[in-house]
Amino acid sequence: MDDQTILELIRTGKNDLALNALYRNFPAIRKLVRSRGGSTRDAEDIFQEALIILIHKLKKDFQLSSKLSTYLYGVCRLLWNEQLRKRRLQVSFDPVTWNDGSLDTLSKGELSADEEADMHTYLQYESRVRLAEQALNELKDRCLELLLVFYHGQLSIKEIAAKMGYRSESSTKNQKYKCLEAARTRLKELQHQTQIL
């Protein structure tokens, strides 16, 4: 599958097919990470972050200056270098915190100046998303599932009610907003805590 097809798939929301194709780059990333002291698990984590970054950018009509594989390799190399630095400093891995300082490692050649600037905004956005993700993960599984099903938007409310086993459409909707309220309350707390820190 060529890059153009993959881009088209992502723009039309067919993430699953696109990701299957993108995952073919993983052996190269694994080799990279393992040759620099990481495990396969590390490689998987790094690659996941890189894919998230890529998809986020592509959704925003971001123009690539290189091949997708080169871009992914560059991002992974950057993330892993950062990760190694963190480990030397005995800090546990947290991708949210790698925006504090050493963005200088970005200019390693694979990324253009525009891409670097983009990375900056991305990292800010990323910390917001991480917090929201954390709030969502602290919800009950059923709540998160319900919100995800709604978010996905492929099922009608009637189908959702049947799938999740709610009695009526109105109680499904009521439940959805209760879950959303819980997530919102928790996110607010988390944001407050981060500001204090």
List of residues contacting other proteins (CB under 8 A): 15-16, 19-20, 22-24, 26, 39-41, 44, 48, 51-52, 55, 125, 128-129, 131-133, 135-137, 144, 147-148, 151-152, 170, 173-174, 177-178, 180-181, 183-184, 187-188
Work out how close the CB of 121 gets to other proteins at its nearest, in angstroms, rounded to a whole number.
Answer: 14
Q: Least CB distance from residue 131 to other proteins, whole Å? A: 7
Least separation in angstroms between residue 174's CB and other proteins is: 6
- Minimum Å gap between C-beta 119 and other proteins is 17
Q: What are phi and psi of 81, to 5 degrees?
A: -60, -45
Nearest residue to 40 (alpha-carbon basis) of 52, 27, 23? 27
Judged by beta carbon, residue 108 or residue 184, the one nearer other proteins is 184
Judged by beta carbon, residue 51 or residue 106, the one nearer other proteins is: 51
Measured over the CA atoms of residue 64, residue 65, residue 68 and residue 70, the dihedral's sign is negative
Residues 6+ apart with CB under 8 A from 114: 65
Our CB check for other proteins shows the closer of 129 and 162 to be 129
Angle CA 14–153–191, to nearest 5: 95
- The DSSP line for 40-76 is HHHHHHHHHHHHHHHHHHHHTTPPPSS-HHHHHHHHH
Q: Which is nearer to other proteins, 113 or 148 (CB)?
A: 148
Structure tokens at 7: 């881009």
**What is the phi/psi pair of residue 122, to 5°?**
-60, -45
Complex with other proteins: residue 6 or 111, whichever CB lies closer? 6
Residue bearing tokens 């200056």: 65
